[in-house]
C-alpha cells in the first residue's frame, strides 16, 4: 500500500494527514511556533509515505524546517503552486502563480465536492472568500483580516479602546462585546456581499463551503446556505497529488 503525506502549512498552524488513497489514516496539527518539535514526534512512527505534498504560505524558514523534517524519508516533497488550470479548475488570477497555494488547494477540493458554483471561505488568521463558477472557473476572491486581527488592529490604533474578552451580541452593551461583535458582523457581511455578487453571475444562490478556526462562529451568523468542511486544503492536496501522478493513490 502506498501512502501520501499532505501538509497544510498556514500562518498560524500546520495541519497534516496521511492518506492511503481511500481515507485519512492519521491526522494532526501543530502551532507554527512549536511545529518542529511536535511534528518530529508525531511523524516518528508514521509509515513511510511514497509521496509528500505541501502547501506552505508561512515563508522560507518554515519551508526549510519542513524540508528537514521530511528528509527522514526517501520521497522528495512536492510544493503546491497555483497554476492556470488544474484538477478541473481554471484560475483567472492575472498572475495564476500569485494565488496562495492554500486557496488554490481549497478551491480544487470545493470543486471536487460541489461540481457547481460556490463560495470557498477560509476563516483563519485572515479570511478569504473565493468564487467558483458553475464550470469550475475561479473568478477571483477577497482577503480581509480575521477576527483576531481586526480586534488587535482596532485596539492598537485607538487610545480609548482596550482588547478584552467579548461575546457576540446583536446589540452589544459593552465595549468588549462591541469590538467582538463588530468583527463577526464584518466577516459575515463580507461573505454575504460576495454571495450577492456571485448569485448575479450564476443565476442561483451559491453554497458557501467554510473552513478554518473561526468557521463555526461565522457559520452561526450567516444568512445564506453554508456548511463547515474540515481539512479542505488537505483534500485539495490529495487531488493535486493524484493528478500529478496520473493515477489515484
pTM of structure: 0.92
Active site residue: 8, 45, 95, 102, which one?
Answer: 102
27 belongs to a structural domain? yes
The count of domains in the chain is 2
pLDDT at position 150 is: 87
- Assess whether 138 and 213 both reside in one domain: yes
- Assess whether 64 and 150 both reside in one domain: no
Secondary structure of residue 160 in the 3-state scheme:
coil
Expressed as residue numbers, the domain containing 75 is 4-79
pLDDT above 90: residue 176: no
Lowest mean pLDDT of 10-24, 65-79, 98-112, 152-166, name the range. Answer: 152-166
Mean pLDDT over 185-197 rounds to 97
pLDDT above 60: residue 249: no
224 belongs to a structural domain? yes
97 belongs to a structural domain? no
247 belongs to a structural domain? no
Secondary structure of residue 137 in the 3-state scheme:
strand
43 belongs to a structural domain? yes
91 belongs to a structural domain? no
- Assess whether 48 and 124 both reside in one domain: no
Closest CA relative to residue 15, chosen from 27, 3, 33, 5: 27
- Assess whether 226 and 120 both reside in one domain: yes
- Assess whether 211 and 145 both reside in one domain: yes
pLDDT at position 162 is: 60
Beta-strand ranges (E) seen in the chain are 4-9, 13-19, 24-31, 51-56, 77-79, 85-86, 89-91, 118-123, 126-132, 137-145, 207-211, 226-228
- Assess whether 75 and 152 both reside in one domain: no
- Assess whether 227 and 120 both reside in one domain: yes
CATH assignment at residue 36: 3.30.420.40
249 belongs to a structural domain? no
Asked if residues 145 and 126 have their Cβ atoms less than 8 Å apart, the reply is yes
Residue 8 designated active-site = no
100 belongs to a structural domain? no
Amino acid at each position: 500500500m502506498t501512502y501520501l503525506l499532505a501538509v497544510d502549512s498556514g500562518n498560524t498552524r500546520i495541519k497534516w494527514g496521511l492518506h492511503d488513497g481511500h481515507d485519512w489514516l492519521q491526522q494532526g496539527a501543530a502551532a507554527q511556533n512549536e511545529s518542529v518539535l511536535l511534528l518530529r514526534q508525531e511523524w516518528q512512527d508514521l509509515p513511510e509515505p511514497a509521496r509528500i505534498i505541501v502547501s506552505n504560505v508561512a515563508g522560507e524558514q518554515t519551508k526549510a524546517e519542513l524540508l528537514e523534517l521530511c528528509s527522514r524519508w526517501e520521497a522528495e516533497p512536492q510544493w503546491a503552486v497555483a497554476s492556470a488550470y488544474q484538477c478541473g479548475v481554471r484560475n483567472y488570477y492575472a498572475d495564476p502563480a500569485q494565488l496562495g497555494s492554500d486557496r488554490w488547494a481549497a478551491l480544487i477540493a470545493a470543486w471536487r465536492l460541489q461540481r457547481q458554483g460556490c463560495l470557498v471561505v477560509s476563516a483563519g488568521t485572515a479570511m478569504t472568500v473565493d468564487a467558483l463558477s458553475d464550470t469550475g472557473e475561479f473568478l477571483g476572491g477577497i482577503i480581509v483580516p480575521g477576527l483576531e486581527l481586526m480586534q488587535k488592529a482596532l485596539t492598537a490604533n485607538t487610545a480609548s479602546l482596550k482588547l478584552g474578552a467579548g461575546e457576540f451580541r446583536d446589540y452589544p452593551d459593552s465595549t468588549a462585546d462591541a469590538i467582538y461583535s463588530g468583527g463577526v458582523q464584518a466577516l459575515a457581511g463580507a461573505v454575504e456581499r460576495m454571495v450577492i455578487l456571485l448569485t448575479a453571475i450564476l443565476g442561483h444562490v451559491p453554497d458557501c463551503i467554510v473552513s478554518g478556526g473561526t468557521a463555526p462562529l461565522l457559520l452561526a451568523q450567516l444568512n445564506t446556505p453554508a456548511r463547515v468542511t474540515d481539512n479542505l486544503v488537505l483534500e485539495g492536496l490529495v487531488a493535486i497529488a493524484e493528478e500529478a501522478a496520473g493515477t489515484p493513490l
